[in-house]
């Protein structure tokens, strides 16, 4: 593949971003298993320790494969324009002058972290380093904002994205099984991921 270029995102990039096919299909998801009985914790030196609830994300095969369509009304061109108008920072990746992906960023001042509002990469350009390059740019931008981490939210059904983020050094920081209101996503579990930044910019 030709060289990937990255530049700051503009509102005028909305139509090109809207045209990208970033739907996904997966034959695996993560299932949240919750053990609601108290489990005795015996990790403390032979004596019965405290008690705890147990939460476990289990990789689970699904048949037929799970398919997510991002080109419905929820992700209309107008929604993307609004996202670009309200984002504080972000980048687009280009190949041969054409937009093939983007990442959109907001600073959470109260926590001094940068939230990745969304990241998209066209399916035909995935696994070519586009997403990793965008994440690297996001981390550099976060350091310049003197933030200590980048964070994001995804769903338990988005197995490919979770695997991608894990490969790029993010970790699962928390899980919320009641995060989404009644509707299309109400059955999905919110997975919050983050990555500590090694240093912040002095400039």
Q: Which tens digit of pLDDT belongs to each residue from 4-33? A: 999 999 999 999 999 999 899 999 999 999
Percent of the chain at pLDDT above 70? 87
Contact in structure between 115 and 80 (CB atoms under 8 Å): no
Q: Which two tokens stand for residue 54?
A: 């147990």
Burial class (CB in 10 A: 0-12, 13-18, 19+), 128: middle
Q: Which tens digit of pLDDT belongs to each residue from 157-198? A: 999 999 999 999 999 999 999 999 998 788 999 999 999 998
Kindly report the CATH number that applies to the domain delimited by 4-196. Answer: 3.40.630.30
pLDDT for position 95? 95
Cis peptide before 64 (omega within 30 of 0): yes
Q: How far apart are CA 168 and CA 131, in angstroms?
A: 9
Contact in structure between 105 and 75 (CB atoms under 8 Å): no
Q: Which tens digit of pLDDT belongs to each residue from 53-70? A: 888 999 999 999 999 887
């Amino acid at each position: 593949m030709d060289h990937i270029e990255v530049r700051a995102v503009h509102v005028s990039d909305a139509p090109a971003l809207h045209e990208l096919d970033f739907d996904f299909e997966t034959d695996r998801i993560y299932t949240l298993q919750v053990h609601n009985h108290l489990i005795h914790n015996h990790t403390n030196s032979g004596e019965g320790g405290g008690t705890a609830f147990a939460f476990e994300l289990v990789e689970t095969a699904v048949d037929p494969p799970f398919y997510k369509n991002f080109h419905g009304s929820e992700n209309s061109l107008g929604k993307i324009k609004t996202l670009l108008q309200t984002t504080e920072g972000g980048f687009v990746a280009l190949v041969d002058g054409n937009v093939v992906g983007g990442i959109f960023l907001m600073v959470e001042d109260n926590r001094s972290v940068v939230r990745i509002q969304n990241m998209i990469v066209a399916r035909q350009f995935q696994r070519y380093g586009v997403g990793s390059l965008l994440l690297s740019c996001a981390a550099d931008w976060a350091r310049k904002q003197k933030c200590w981490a980048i964070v994001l939210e995804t769903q338990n059904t988005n197995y490919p994205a979770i695997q991608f983020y894990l490969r790029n050094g993010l970790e699962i920081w928390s899980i919320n099984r009641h995060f989404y209101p009644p509707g299309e996503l109400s059955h999905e579990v919110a997975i919050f991921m983050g990555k500590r930044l090694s240093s912040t910019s002095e400039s």
